[in-house]
Structures are given as structure tokens and as C-alpha cells.
Structure 1
Amino acid sequence: MRSDYANSKPRQPRKRGANSKSKATAAPRRPVSPIKFVVGLAVLVGFIYALWFLKHDGTDAASGNEPQAVTTKAAAPATTNPKDTLPPKPKEEWTYQKELENKQVEVDVPAQSNQPSRPYQMQCGSFRKESQAQEMKAVIAFQGIEAQVRKVGGNNGDWFKVILGPYDAKRQAERDRHTLQRVGLNGCMIWLWTN
């Protein structure tokens, strides 16, 4: 038999009868039997005693005596064989400290002949207009470094280069380049000095 769900009537909830409520509320409580009470009390007392025993590590509270630790004496060897005895511990002596105090280090320094005899220069810019080169020279002068503007003729016309130097060592030129990099002049190049 097939029924149409849409046309079916909703089910009415079942009403619980008076018998189910009365049975739940009317069930009498049984008293705890004395045997179960005594057994439960004995288990509780035994558990408390076990905890107390563990806490006091087996000490007797009534007499105040602690159990004596059993000590056994190590059996002394009956005969000492010279092969079985160990020699005395050697004293450690460190000699490297004394050796380092008197040690002299020799360093081979290459001769200065490798370096070129010409000094170094640093070029920070090359401009078509002299006014732009003079502006860069002024910025460099504010950093406490002296610069010069050179006019150089080329195939495309005249150029104005901002040159620093001469420097006896490349390290001096590097120091000035780092000073200029801190203020935003990053295009400086270091070369050998040219007239």
C-alpha cells in the first residue's frame, strides 16, 4: 500500500500512560545491606592506610623508629695480585701554553713593486653641461672632499667630468667613495690617474 506523503495526516504523539509515571516514581528504594556497607568501609580504610604507608615510607608512627637500612660489607680481596692493581693516575702537563708564549710568527710580506707607480683617481660623473658638473662638485664639497671639473673633447662634443684625486692608494679612494655613497652618489668609479 502506497500513501501520499503530502496528503497524509500528521501523526499524533503518543501519550504516556499514567502507568509509566507511576512506576518510575512509585519504585521503592531498597536499603543498603549491612554487609555491603561493612565491605565498602573496609576497602576505604584499607585504601587510606595504604596511602599513609606510602607517605611515611614504612616508618612506624607509634614507636617512632625507622627501619634500619641493611648494609653489607664489600668482601675484601683475599690476595692482592700486583697485576690487578692500577698504577697511580698520571698528572697532566700541558706544554702548549709555554710553547705559545715563546713562539714567534714569521709573515712573508710581498714587495711593494707590484703596485703601479701612478696614483688613482675617482670619476663621479660626466655631463654635457658644465652647470650640472659644478652642482655635483658642490655636493661633494659639502662632504669635505675636494673635486675638480675637467673639460674633455670627444667625437660627440665636449663633456664635463667630475674627478676626485689623485689618491696614493686605492684604499683612500674607496673610503671617499663610501662617504659619497652615504649621501646618494653611487656612480663613482676608481681608475688609475690620467692627465
Structure 2
Amino acid sequence: MAVDYAKRGAPKKKKPAAKAKPAARGATRKSAKAKNGPGVPIGALLVTLVVIALFVAFLWFLKSGEAPDPGVTEQGPAAATEELEPLPEIPAERWQYIEELESQQIQVEVPEQAESRRRLMQCASFRSHEEADNLKARIAMAGFESQIRETTGSNGRWFRVILGPFDNLRDAQRTNNQLQRTGIYGCQIWLWNLD
């Protein structure tokens, strides 16, 4: 069976129910308590009060259980300071090592033969004179004077770029370090034997 909802029409509105009148004054109070629910539980209130009391007792124990200050006696702090011995005076410091260092001299033993012999420094050896000239120009740009020596040996003719003579090994090493800072590496320090 089919129902025609269009012909049925709008649903009928319900009428609101009439409010009940309270019978007596006491009945109104009971119904208000029933609507609000039960009151504060007495057990939770007691537990809260016990916790607060224990916390206060703990704080009181901490305060009264502190160790007494050793500087304070029954007579007061002034009496305690009078009983202590006075501290000794600070001794004057005397720095001896400064005077000792000023008067000391450092002595370095250098073997006289190794230091006093003359040195030369060879920076490269080339087959062509042009390559030797290029290196000589780079050394001149670094601020040092070099020489090109031609040598002929069992393996042919070579052009050696040398610096020196240096009076000692220290001067030769200083020059070599300065050349390395400018990008010229591979110089070797030898004893002078080009007389």
C-alpha cells in the first residue's frame, strides 16, 4: 500500500504539558536538591583536610629541625666572635723568579764547524737557459738575488739556479722559508763548493 505524503498535510503540533503545581513548601526543597545532584562528598573533603594538615606538619618539622648556626650562641653573635682566635697576618709575597730570570742568560751550544761553514742553496736545475731565467726572475720578485751556473757532466749540460753564499746554515734556512712563502719550493741547502 502506497502512502501519499503530499496529501497527508503538515503534522499536528503538540500542545505543551501543563506545569505541575507544588503541593507544599517542603516538597519544593526536596525537588531542588534532587535536580542539582548529590552534595560534596564528605570523604573527599576529609582526605583533603588530612593532606593539608600533613603538609603543614611537614613544613613545621623542616623549620624546627634546622641545624643551629655555629656562630650564634645563646649569648648572641657578638659573644661568639669574641671567643674566636684572630687570623694570622697575610705574609708578604716575594717573587724571586722574576729577578732570577732577568739575571739569567741562555747558553746554546752550537757545533762551531757545522755553523761556520759557508752554504749555497740550489733551487732548480734545467736543460734550457730560458727556464732557468724564468725561475731567476721569480726569485728576484721575492727580493733575492740568484745566479745561473752552467755545468756539464756525464748526463749533459745543465743550468743550475743557485743562491748564496750564506755565512751559516741559519741564514740559508731563513731565505728558504721566505722563498717558500712566495711559492718557490724545492730549494736545497748544500755546502759551498763552487770555487
- Quickly name the TM-score band, shorter chain normalised: 0.5 to 0.7
Structure 1 counterpart of 2:130: 131
> Which residue number corresponds to residue 188 of structure 1?
187
1:38 is matched by which residue type in structure 2?
Answer: I
So what's the TM-score if we normalise by structure 1?
A: 0.55
- Structure 1 residue identity aligned to 2:45: L
Hey, which of these two has a bigger chunk of helix by percent?
A: 2
Which amino acid letter does the alignment assign opposite residue 115 of structure 1?
A: A
1:21-170 paired onto structure 2 within 5 Å: 37-54=41-58, 57=60, 97=95, 100=97, 103=100, 105=104, 108-110=107-109, 113-115=112-114, 117-170=116-169
Q: Which moved more, 1:165-174 or 1:146-155?
A: 165-174
RMSD of aligned residue pairs (Cα, Å)? 3.9
Q: Distance in 1 between the 2:144 and 2:105 partners?
A: 39
Flag the 1:159–1:50 CA change in 2: closer, same or farther, 3 A: same
d(CA) in 1 for partners of 2:162, 2:73: 95
Q: Which has the larger radius of gyration?
A: 2
Report the CA distance between 1:115 and its aligned residue: 3.1
Structure 2, unmatched stretches of 5+, are 1-36, 75-85
3-state SS, counterpart of residue 164 of structure 1: strand
The letter for the 1-side match of 2:132 is: A
Distance 1:123 1:93, change over 3 A: same
Query: For 2:143 and 2:92, how far apart are their aligned partners in 1?
Result: 56
The question of whether the paired residues in 1 share the 8 Å contact of 2:116 and 2:167 is answered with no
* Distance (Å, rounded) in 2 between the aligned partners of 1:181 and 1:43: 87
Q: 1:118 to 1:44 in 2, by over 3 A?
A: closer
Identity score, percent: 35
TM-score, length-normalised on structure 2?
0.55
**What is the deviation of 1:130?**
0.4
**1:174 aligned partner:** 173
Question: Equivalents in 2 of 1:93, 1:114: separation in Å?
Answer: 53
Letter in structure 2 aligned against 1:40: A
- Partner-residue secondary structure (3-state), 1:125: strand
Q: Aligned equivalents of 1:112 and 1:162: distance in 2?
A: 29
Shift of 1:100: 3.6
Q: For each residue in 1:5-50, what CA deviation from the matched residue of structure 2 results, as whole angstroms up to 9, or x when unmatched?
A: xxxxxxxxxxxxxxxxxxxxxxxxxx86x8x922221111222333
Superposed CA offset, 1:73-121 (max 9, x none): 7xxxxxxxxxxxxxx9988979984x54664546555476333643111
Alpha-carbon distance change, 44 to 168 in structure 1, aligned in 2, over 3 angstroms:
same
